[in-house]
Each structure stands twice: as structure tokens, then as C-alpha cells.
Structure 1
Amino acid sequence: MMDSYIYIIDDLAFFLTGILFLYLFVLSTASHFKHITYPKAQKKYRCAILIRESSPLPDLYGKESPYEFITYSDLYQGINSLDKEHYDLALILPDTARTLSPQLLDKIYDAYDAGIQAIQLHTLVKGCKGFRFKFRVMRDEIKNSLYRAGNTQFGLSSNLLGTNMAIDLAWLQKNLKSSKTNIERKLLRQNIYIDYLPEAIVYCESYPPSPYRKRPRKMISYLLPSLLEGNWSFLNRIMQLLIPSPLKLCIFVGIYALLMTAYNWTSSLGWWSILFGLFIVYSLAIPDYLVEDKKKKKHSIWRKKHLNSELKKTPV
């Protein structure tokens, strides 16, 4: 009798984990497709770049910079102080931002001209060393591949980091109630598409903190309403909140596979296959610049030429 319960639980766990593996595999594979290239903007736009008063960006770029930096001490006040007649977009950057990729604003304007109201830029941290730092970079790039680049390939909204993002100023002033307002949740609830521009890069010296507090329980409470409304981007975002991190998922599957091997090795073969498949999925999600062995890079599955070309011409 006990054996029957164990096998039922094992079958259910294997089925759910298998569905999750297939979902991640599809997103990881899709992230390798080139992002849509928007036509050149047909009119001129203006973007206010919001930075904290302590940010060194104005000094780094100088007075001749094409960027319009607006300093603030309170994000809510800083956004609401902007003139909608003068600016079309607000670009929110963290204190840790140090370099902007060439033609970053042009890429933002092209997407905005095509009707995109919210844009997540590519955050790339450079300069720190050590295994812990490299592991975090790899983890964040996996998230970029799966939950940003992968999402947008299927017409679903990108996950929003909370910073390094450009948003329509009129919408932002109307919906931002305080500096801690969850902008991502507001956008998703209104079914506003969030795009991800992997080649529009903001280089940071360390990881930028999110300007607002994210409450997973609050997001999960919208699971049923989003399903009934057919808001697939919001539903997809909520489901992704429930997915464990790559490390936790691999540890869980590995431990379960070991336990099943000790109990009945023939029943463990499927779990070892899923674990091996997860390694492939997460390897596919790692961009080429993180693979240090140049000899292997020529024939590896990590190649992402469209991103590498941007990294090469971007000064750091």
C-alpha cells in the first residue's frame, strides 16, 4: 500500500516537473531568436533620464552630453515635476549606472514610436570579481534570457526589473502614487505590453536595487482574475514567480533523483534525464560573453551573435 502512494506521488511530481522543464526549454530556445527590429522613429521624442542626486553620470558624460539628466531625491516627486509637454518618456536609472550603450535612446525611441509604452533595458554589471559575483551575473542573465527575451518572443510582456526602464511619462505620472508603487504590477494589470531590448545596455558597477518593494503574495492574488480576463502576460508573470531559482530547482531534482535511486533505481532514470535537461536549458540561457574559453565559444551552444556585436562596440 505504501509503495502505491509513493509511486502516485512520484508520478505527479514527475509530471509537474516535466511540464516545468518543457516550459523553460521553450523559453530558453526562443531567447536565441533575434529580437524584432523596430523601424526608425518617424518623429523626434524627448526622454528625461531620472537619476539620484548622488549619481556620477552627469559628470561622467559632461555638459555636451545628448542625455538630459534629471536628478531627484524622491522618485515620485522627481517624476511628477517633469513637464509632459516637454518630455515624452522617463528613463529611470540606478545610482550604480556608469555607462550607456551607443544609440540607446535611438533604440528606445524606435520602440516607442512603434507603440511600446514600457521598455526594460538590459542591465549588465561589470568590474566586480569573485565566484559569488560571477554566479549572480550568470543567474541574472539566465533570468534575462528566460523571463525577458523568451517572454517577448511569444508576445508576452517582459519581466520588469524596477530600474533601467523607460516608460511613457503621461502614463507614469497618472499611475505612480508613491515612490514605492509597483510599476510592473500596474502595467500588467492594465494589459500594457512591456518590451525588452537586449541590445540597449546600461552598464552598472554593482547590482541596482529595485526602487519599490515586490510582494509575490500580492501578485499571486491576481492569478484567478488574470485567468478569467485572459490577461496572459500577467498570468505568465505570476506563474514565473512560482518557479524556483535555477540552483534551487536543480538541487531539488538532484536530491529527489538520489532518493528514488536508493528506493528504485529504474524509477529514477526519468529524474536524472530531467536534471540533465535542466543543465542544458540553463546553459542555453547563458550568453556567450560569460563563457571564458574562447576556443569553446566557436562551436558552443551559448552563441548569441546579435548581443555579442553590441557588447563589442560598447565602451566599458
Structure 2
Amino acid sequence: MNENGAYFSWLNVSWWIENQDLILTIIDNIIYLFFIFSITYLFIFALFSLRKRTINYSPATKKQRFLVLIPAYREDNVILQSVCSLLEQNYPKEKYDIIVISDQMQEDTLEKLDMLSIRVVHVLEKDSTKTKALQCAMAQFDKNTYDVVILLDADNIVNPDYINKINDAYYSGGMAIQTHRLAKNLNTHTAILDAISEEINNSIFRKGHVRLGFSSALIGSGMAFEFNWFKDNILKLGHVGVDKQLEVLLLKQRIFIEYLEDVYTFDEKVETSSKFYNQRRRWLATQTKNLRISCGDLPYAIFSGNWDYCDKIIQWMMPPRVMLLGLLVIIALAWTFFNWSTSIKWWVALLILLLTFCISIPKYLLNSKSQKALIMLPFLFILMVFNHFRIRGASKKFIHTEHNGH
């Protein structure tokens, strides 16, 4: 290196040393803007979730024909309980059919299902996915065979008025419906935190969104769609993550997704950290893939005024709530040690996020058991960090979450 090169190199190093405080401030402000945008977004929708519901569906004068689909991959422990809850509906028996899509279930379970008033469809796929199971089942029906299709998981349990209430919403014009998923088990710290996480999402991404005029987010089960629409669009789905793919199709077609907060789908929560890790890995991979696919649609969605779709893409850009909370704590503590004045805005952001969570969590989960479960949060945060390095390929294969039955 000649003398001029060495001189300019020294100047560059010298400039970075002299301006390191300015550089750190700029980087800090950019990162802070990203965090405060996500927090403000969550806070606004959490506040709107507190508004009273203004739309109440009147009893329908017509009983629609329902098809209930239950994909069941090795779900021998829970499937019978789910089916029995559906057989107890106070809806005309001739107006709904239940189909269990069996994938690798035991003969003993299949014999018990055959004794019930349902139909079992067998799936023999090399690579099992929920998408393939639903496509296989829907291929057996022509258009107009039913009016509405309901999708449930094999561990879901519903109340006797479940189909009746969905029928009321559909009769009033709801083409796409998400019911309120509730935990049916709170027997471990992980299950409690999983239930809290889902209720926070219910408040922000479902109740709060609908209150503000946006579509509800789908959640994977407890969903209902117009039968013909679902038959046409289920064949368009590819990778795992049925709910998110359906969301994209619905929002692109400007079909509003309703949220029925008083119609409950009881769902089994993960009980161990290993199940939490696998489940969140699948969810994170699906979110990342959907963001990558849909991000290019954002300019068109903005210019065409498709605000529902814009909102969904923005949602996928934000980090998971556990990650957001954990990173905020780490950054706030780090700045407290290095520069307490800079840390103030980070502590304020953390307080707003905690207030958002408090607003979003229903009263039944604010108890001593939930407080004790908080000791698991740092460990679950670490698992989420690890998940970010293991999402490759997770959206292309089915990662099964085993259910114990409750």
C-alpha cells in the first residue's frame, strides 16, 4: 500500500473513532423506530379490542348445509372426543356431515369411528400435510353439495350451539369466519403461556381488527368458509400453513373475515417446551415464507386501496410477541449500563408493550398460576431465538404437534 492509501485508510479509521457516538445513535434510532412502530400497532388494536361489539347476528331463518372436516394425523388420543362434541349439536342432523380425514391412525380408533354417524376418508400420502388432507377430502365433492365448510383440528371441542351460531353469521353474509379459540387445558406453565399468547392474539389480531373495520386473522382451526369458494381455492394451496395461505387468497379477493368472539373452539395447548419449540418453528417458517411471497404485493395493495391486505403484510413483518418482549428487555438493560439517558425511551417502549399485553389478556387468565408461569418466559424466548436459525425447510414439511387429550 502506498503512502496515500495508508493515509486515507488512517483517516477512515480515525473518522469512525471520532464519530462512533453519532453512528451508534443513528443505528439505535433506526432500530427504535422499528420497535416503536410494532409496539404502537399492537397497542392501537389492543385498545380497540375494548370497544363493545356493535354487530349481533339475528337467528337465521334458513338452516344451511354444513360439511365439517377434521384432518387427523396420528390423533388417536383426541379424535373421538372431538367427534362426540360435534354429534351433540342442537342443529338438524340431516343438515350437517362430519368427515374425519384419517392419516396413519390405529385400526382400533378407526373401528370406533365407524360406529359413529360420521364418514372417514383415508389419506395415503408419502409426505403428510394438512393441505393435502383437505384437498383429498374436497376432491370427493361436487360444487353446491354443501353451503358451508367448517375446519377443525382433531383436538378441538365445541359447544352444542356451535354450528347454529356459525349458521347465523353465514346467513347474514359472512363468507369467511373465524371463531374464538380457547384453551381446554391449563395444566402446565407452558400451556398457560400458550393460552395467554393466543388470547393476546385474539384481542389484537381478531377482536381489535374487526372493531376497527379490518378482517380478522385466521388461526388454523375453528374456521368456516362458503363451500364453493373453499372448493375452488383449496387446490391453489401449496406449502404447509393452510390458514395463512387462505388469508392471502381471501384478502386479495377482498373478502372480509369475520370474528365470532362468542363462538368457542376449545383447543389443546402445548404442554412442554419441546412441543412449543416445534410448533413455533412451523409457525415462524410459514410466516417468513408468506412474507417473502407477499411482500412484492405491497405496492399494488397500497395503490389499489386494499388496506386489509396491506395490514396483513405489515403483520408478517413484525417479530413474534415473545421475541419483541425479550429483545426490548435486553436492549433496555444494555443501554442502562452504557448510557442511561438513551435507555429511557427503551424503558418507555417496554412499558407500553407490557400495558398492551395487560389490556389484551382476559381476566380469567390473570391469576396466581399465570404469574408463576412467567418464569418460563426467558426460556421460551431463547427457544424462539434458536427457531430463527432453524426455519429453513420447515414450511415445506409437516411438523406434527402431538396431542395428549384432555
Normalised to the residue count of structure 1, the TM-score between the two structures is: 0.83
Maintained 8 Å contact 2:215/2:257 = yes
1:236 matched residue in structure 2: 311
Q: 1:255 to 1:61 in 2, by over 3 A?
A: closer
2:353 matched residue in structure 1: 278
1:121 matched residue in structure 2: 179
1:46 corresponds, among 37, 49, 65, to 65
Q: Greater helix share, 1 or 2?
A: 2
Letter in 1 for 2:248: R
Q: 1:52 to 1:119 in 2, by over 3 A?
A: same
State the secondary structure of the residue aligned to 1:48.
Answer: strand
Q: 1:168 to 1:9 in 2, by over 3 A?
A: same
Q: 1:29 to 1:46 in 2, by over 3 A?
A: same
How far does residue 27 in structure 1 lie from its aligned partner after superposition? 0.6
Maintained 8 Å contact 1:46/1:89 = yes
Quote the Cα distance in structure 2 between the aligned partners of 1:65 and 1:71.
20
Quote the Cα distance in structure 1 between the aligned partners of 2:220 and 2:167.
20
Maintained 8 Å contact 1:162/1:183 = no
Quote the Cα distance in structure 1 between the aligned partners of 2:49 and 2:89.
37
State the secondary structure of the residue aligned to 1:161.
Answer: coil
Quote the Cα distance in structure 2 between the aligned partners of 1:63 and 1:278.
42
Quote the Cα distance in structure 1 between the aligned partners of 2:143 and 2:52.
34
**Residue deviations 1:2-40, cap 9 Å, x none?**
212222223333333323222211111111223321233
How far does residue 127 in structure 1 lie from its aligned partner after superposition? 2.5
Quote the Cα distance in structure 1 between the aligned partners of 2:212 and 2:330.
33
Normalised to the residue count of structure 2, the TM-score between the two structures is: 0.66
Q: 1:267 to 1:30 in 2, by over 3 A?
A: same
Maintained 8 Å contact 1:246/1:282 = no
RMSD: 2.9
Q: 1:130 to 1:206 in 2, by over 3 A?
A: closer
1:10 matched residue in structure 2: 28
Maintained 8 Å contact 1:45/1:88 = yes
State the secondary structure of the residue aligned to 2:266.
Answer: strand
Maintained 8 Å contact 2:85/2:158 = no
How far does residue 60 in structure 1 lie from its aligned partner after superposition? 5.0
How far does residue 138 in structure 1 lie from its aligned partner after superposition? 1.0
Q: 1:22 to 1:271 in 2, by over 3 A?
A: same
Maintained 8 Å contact 1:122/1:200 = yes
Quote the Cα distance in structure 2 between the aligned partners of 1:19 and 1:71.
43
How far does residue 92 in structure 1 lie from its aligned partner after superposition? 0.8
Percent identity between the two aligned chains: 30
Q: 1:5 to 1:293 in 2, by over 3 A?
A: same
1:82 corresponds, among 124, 141, 155, to 141
How far does residue 143 in structure 1 lie from its aligned partner after superposition? 1.1
How do 1:1-316 residues align onto structure 2 when only pairs under 5 Å count?
1-35=19-53, 36-52=55-71, 55-56=79-80, 57-59=82-84, 62=87, 66=91, 68-72=97-101, 73=123, 74-97=133-156, 99-177=157-235, 180=238, 182-206=245-269, 215-216=289-290, 217-292=292-367
Give the number of equivalent residue pairs: 295
**Residue deviations 1:236-276, cap 9 Å, x none?**
11111121122211221222212222232122111111111
Maintained 8 Å contact 1:119/1:195 = yes
2:388 matched residue in structure 1: none
Quote the Cα distance in structure 1 between the aligned partners of 2:199 and 2:192.
11
1:304 matched residue in structure 2: none
Maintained 8 Å contact 2:90/2:164 = no
Quote the Cα distance in structure 2 between the aligned partners of 1:133 and 1:63.
27
Q: 1:63 to 1:272 in 2, by over 3 A?
A: closer
State the secondary structure of the residue aligned to 1:255.
Answer: helix
Please list every run of 5 or more consecutive structure 1 residues that lacks an aligned counterpart in the other structure: 295-315
**Residue deviations 1:218-237, cap 9 Å, x none?**
23332223223221111111
Quote the Cα distance in structure 2 between the aligned partners of 1:83 and 1:276.
54
Quote the Cα distance in structure 1 between the aligned partners of 2:300 and 2:335.
38
State the secondary structure of the residue aligned to 1:221.
Answer: helix
